[in-house]
């Protein structure tokens, strides 16, 4: 278990709830860090990422979150004194220090710390597992071009790749 606090919130709750929302929504860390309690439906289990907080700023995205994520969000809200507005994950330091803090957590867990293994890895993994389950990762990530999703986000070890001849052709017998 993680000790300490982040902005007077138990660190384990702060980090775990952030990860849960990133996993359920596939949103970028920057958008999640801008998520305001005004856009979280704690009774219905929906979070709305406002266009102005998302890369590209084109449109709002509404995501349903898992019941365990919703329970964490309720605990996070309670830990902050039940605010109805303000950031869900307050961070008073410069935004880039979030990545340094995350790097320390990954190091402590003996996990890789390169840029491909930080927050964006959650976005890629969520997209790959959704695609593997039959979902549409391009829509989930709000990409306009399927090629972007396939080239940069889908991990073939998780969701498979294009079918190749060795996947479908019969196997010759003999020695």
Mind listing the pLDDT tens digit for each residue in 58-74?
999 999 999 999 999 99
**Backbone phi and psi for residue 41, each to the nearest 5 degrees, phi listed first:** -95, 95
Mean pLDDT on 130-158: 93
Instruction: Give the pLDDT band (50/70/90) at residue 175.
Output: low
Mean pLDDT on 51-59: 93
What does the alpha-carbon distance between residue 33 and residue 175 come to, in Å, rounded to a whole number? 60
Mind listing the pLDDT tens digit for each residue in 74-105?
999 999 999 999 999 999 999 999 999 999 99
CA distances from 44 to 47, 70, 71 (A): 9, 9, 11
What pLDDT is attached to residue 160?
78
What pLDDT is attached to residue 169?
75
Q: What percent of the chain has pLDDT over 90?
A: 82
What pLDDT is attached to residue 115?
80
């Amino acid at each position: 278990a993680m000790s300490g606090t982040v902005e007077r919130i138990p660190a384990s709750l702060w980090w775990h709830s952030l990860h849960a929302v990133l996993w359920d929504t596939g949103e970028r860390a920057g958008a999640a860090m801008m998520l305001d309690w005004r856009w979280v439906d704690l009774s219905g289990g929906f979070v709305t990422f406002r266009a102005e907080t998302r890369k590209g700023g084109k449109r709002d995205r509404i995501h349903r979150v898992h019941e365990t994520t919703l329970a964490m969000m309720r605990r996070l809200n309670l830990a902050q004194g039940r605010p109805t507005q303000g950031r869900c994950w307050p961070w008073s330091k410069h935004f880039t220090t979030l990545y340094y803090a995350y790097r320390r957590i990954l190091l402590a867990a003996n996990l890789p710390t390169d840029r491909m293994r930080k927050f964006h890895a959650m976005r890629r993994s969520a997209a790959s597992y959704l695609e593997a389950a039959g979902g549409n990762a391009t829509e989930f990530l709000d990409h306009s071009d399927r090629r972007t999703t396939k080239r940069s986000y889908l991990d073939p070890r998780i969701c498979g790749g294009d079918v190749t001849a060795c996947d479908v052709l019969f196997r010759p017998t003999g020695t």
